[in-house]
Amino acid sequence: MKLQVRSGDAVAGTLLWVMAAVIVQQSTTWPSSGDVAGDPTVFPRALAAIMFASGLALFVLPRPPPAREEGTGELRTLRTLLLIGLTMLMALSLETVGLVTAGIVYVLAAQRLAGAPWRKALPFAIGAPIAIWLVFVTVLHVPLPRGEIWQWLFS
């Protein structure tokens, strides 16, 4: 196991610097200590200073590699990225087409992406969103998106 600075650590270090800069910039717009009990900038600016130093340490100090499990090859990562893309589409379409329709399409696509056969995937893809709808809306009385498109069509 070799100690070295890794790209993930370098990205994290950069992120800390960016966050530190944002905190310092934002804190200049806050009310002064005279208006608010205790100086509201003390904690955030101290945090920003620590972040800056930690970001530097992430660049400079070598660390052991992450304890990663098997199965993070390129193809499998691509599969996860596709699932994230699908999830974004689901989030975008949730209000427009409604939970049941978006859910059925999303679950079916994600299950097929995972490698599930049609005969197994289809019943769950149809059943799960309907079951979730029934539990939340009918039993728990928690409203979920019906879908603007359906409301427009049936109004």
Partner 1 sequence: MFDPQLLFAGFATIASLKVFPFLVLGTVMGIVVGAIPGLTATMAIALLIPFTFAMDPISGIVMLLAIYAGGIYGGGVASILIRTPGTPAAAATLLDGYPMAQKGEAGRAIGIATISSGIGGLFSACALTLFAPLLATVALSFSAPEYFSLAVFGLVVTMSLSGNSLLRGFFSVLCGLTIGMIGIDPIGGFQRMNFGFSELSGGFNFVAVMIGLFSLSEAFRQMEQMDTMPPVPPAIRNVLPRFKEIAGMWTVYVRACVYGLIIGIAPGVGAETSSFLTYAEVKRASKDPSQFGKGAPEGVAAAQAAENGSTGGDLLPMLTLGVPGDAATAVLMGALTIHNLQPGPMLFQERPDLVHQIFAGMISANLMFMIVGLLGARLLAKVVQIDRRILVPLVCLLSLIGAYAIDNNPMDVWVTLFFGVAGWLMYRNGFPVSPLVLAVILGGMMESNLRRTLVMGLGSPAIMLHRPIALLILVLAALSLYAVIRRNSNEARKRKAEEAVTE
Nearer to partner 1, 76 or 151 (CB): 76
Considering only residues 24 through 53, tell me which ones interact with partner 1, judged by CB under 8 A: 26, 30-31, 35-40, 42-44, 47, 50-51
- The reply on whether position 100 binds partner 1 by CB under 8 A is no
**From 6, 17, 24, 150, residue interacting with partner 1 (rule: CB under 8 A):** 6
Tokens at 107, concatenated: 């679950």
Considering only residues 108 through 137, tell me which ones interact with partner 1, judged by CB under 8 A: 110-111, 113-116, 120-121, 124-125, 128-129, 132, 135-136
Inter-CA distances, 147 with 23, 58, 91, 99, 126, Å: 39, 46, 12, 7, 17
- Are the beta carbons of 111 and 125 closer than 8 angstroms? yes
**From 14, 21, 49, 65, residue interacting with partner 1 (rule: CB under 8 A):** 65
- The reply on whether position 17 binds partner 1 by CB under 8 A is no
Q: Where does residue 129 rank: exposed (0-12), middle (13-18), buried (19+ CB within 10 A)?
A: buried
Query: What is the dihedral sign for C-alpha 59, 60, 65, 67?
Result: negative
- The reply on whether position 138 binds partner 1 by CB under 8 A is no
**From 143, 152, 153, 154, residue interacting with partner 1 (rule: CB under 8 A):** 143
